[in-house]
A and B are shown apart, each in its own frame.
Chain A
Amino acid sequence: MSARWSEAGNGTAVSSARRTLMLGLLFGFGAAMSYGTSQVLTRYSVSGAAPPLVGAFVALTWGTAGFALMSVRAVARAGERSARGTLFFALAGLFSACGIMLMFQALQLGEVVILSPVLATNPLFTLVFASMLLRGVERITPRIVAGALLVVAGVVVLTVA
């Protein structure tokens, strides 16, 4: 009886893990598609319309306003207060914005052909930082590193092709 319960429990756990994986992939590919589409739009419609810093400011203003409107109810419902969580996300936003500014500066000084492959290596930095700072939270396996290396190599080939 207990073995049957245990089997049923395992089955539920496996299907729940599979569902989480599928949802995660759906969200991940959705994000990649959004970023990919905005890259094409940037390349074909707004390059030259404004300096990159101004463009980033306007895009971020629209994006933040849009997201704030979309999440009004979730924010009102959320009773969560976490200074640590707020700090991590605020720093994440700052580092992300810093990255954009540094990229613009780099692109003003150097050639896209040389810089694009360098910029594409950011997943490898993520894995290095994750292995240092996420011990006990997440396991970065050799297989995940191998997958990231292949993706980065592919992106490098695409950007210089």
Chain B
Amino acid sequence: MLAVGLAIAAAASWGFSAVLVRLGLRHISTTIGTLISLGAGLVFTAVLALVLQWREVQALSLRAVLLFGVIGVLNFPMGRFLNYLAMSKLGVGRSTPVLASAPLFAVLLAVVVTGESLRLPTLAGIALIVSGLYVTVTAPR
């Protein structure tokens, strides 16, 4: 039950964060805004990691540091910046469902790269996402 409560709090935090970005975009550019949000997130995460898991930080292998580096570059300069750019062009209401389709790309990539097979529930999920995107994108402004 506690785990579900924490997951709801996590989803609400991300939802609130998106609305704060939309409000911030009325005052400063996407580039500066992305940098500020990354900096704030880094300070918060760094304090927690260095205080609570200092030993684990010291024990990191070079391979892990480099792999997390690739993930970090995909997630932050690319993912977050493009996400904020989409919000500035589409608004938060339309860009949120587009961004939420990320698992669709994860599934397609897993199929292409790792050869995972597409089962019926996966196809049903893809169909729901694609129809949701169509409904969102074609909504009058």
What distance in Å separates the Cβ of A98 from its nearest Cβ neighbour in chain B? 5
Interface membership of A28, Cβ < 8 A: yes
Mask of A32-45 contacts with B, CB within 8 angstroms, 1/0 = 11111111111111
- Judging by beta carbons under 8 Å apart, are A63 and B110 in contact? no
Nearest B residue to A156 by beta-carbon distance?
Answer: B125
Nearest A residue to B19 by beta-carbon distance?
Answer: A129
- Judging by beta carbons under 8 Å apart, are A161 and B119 in contact? yes
User: In the complex, A74→B133 CA distance in Å?
Assistant: 32
Interface SS of B by simple majority? helix
User: In the complex, A122→B10 CA distance in Å?
Assistant: 8
What distance in Å separates the Cβ of B40 from its nearest Cβ neighbour in chain A? 3
Interface membership of A134, Cβ < 8 A: yes
Say which residue of B22, B49, B67, B77 sits within 8 Å of A63 (CB atoms). B77
Identify which of residues 136-161 in chain A touch chain B, using a CB-to-CB cut-off of 8 Å: 137-141, 143-144, 146-161
Say which residue of A51, A84, A93, A157 sits within 8 Å of B121 (CB atoms). A157
- Judging by beta carbons under 8 Å apart, are B56 and A51 in contact? yes
- Judging by beta carbons under 8 Å apart, are A50 and B109 in contact? no
Nearest B residue to A151 by beta-carbon distance?
Answer: B132
User: In the complex, A31→B21 CA distance in Å?
Assistant: 15
Nearest B residue to A20 by beta-carbon distance?
Answer: B89
* Chain A neighbourhood of B27, CB < 8 A: 80, 82, 84-85, 88
Interface size range of chain B in the complex: 35 or more
Mask of B35-61 contacts with A, CB within 8 angstroms, 1/0 = 111111110111011101100110011
Nearest A residue to B48 by beta-carbon distance?
Answer: A53
Identify which of residues 62-83 in chain A touch chain B, using a CB-to-CB cut-off of 8 Å: 62-64, 66-68, 70-71, 74-75, 78, 80, 82
Interface membership of A101, Cβ < 8 A: yes
Chain B residues in the interface with A (C-beta under 8 A): 2-4, 6-29, 31-42, 44-46, 48-50, 52-53, 56-57, 60-61, 63-65, 67-83, 85-86, 88-110, 113-114, 119, 121-122, 124-137, 139-141
For the complex with contacts A82-B27, A94-B41, A158-B121, 10 further pairs of A-B residues with Cβ separation under 8 Å are A31-B85, A36-B102, A55-B68, A61-B72, A62-B69, A96-B41, A122-B15, A129-B15, A148-B100, A154-B129
Nearest 5 pairs of A and B residues by beta carbon: A63-B76, A125-B15, A110-B3, A85-B27, A36-B105
Q: List 24 A-B residue pairs with CB atoms under 8 Å apart, sorted by A's residue number.
A: A25-B86, A38-B79, A51-B53, A59-B68, A59-B71, A60-B42, A61-B72, A63-B76, A85-B33, A89-B24, A89-B34, A89-B36, A93-B37, A101-B45, A114-B3, A118-B8, A122-B12, A122-B15, A123-B99, A126-B19, A127-B15, A154-B127, A154-B132, A161-B124
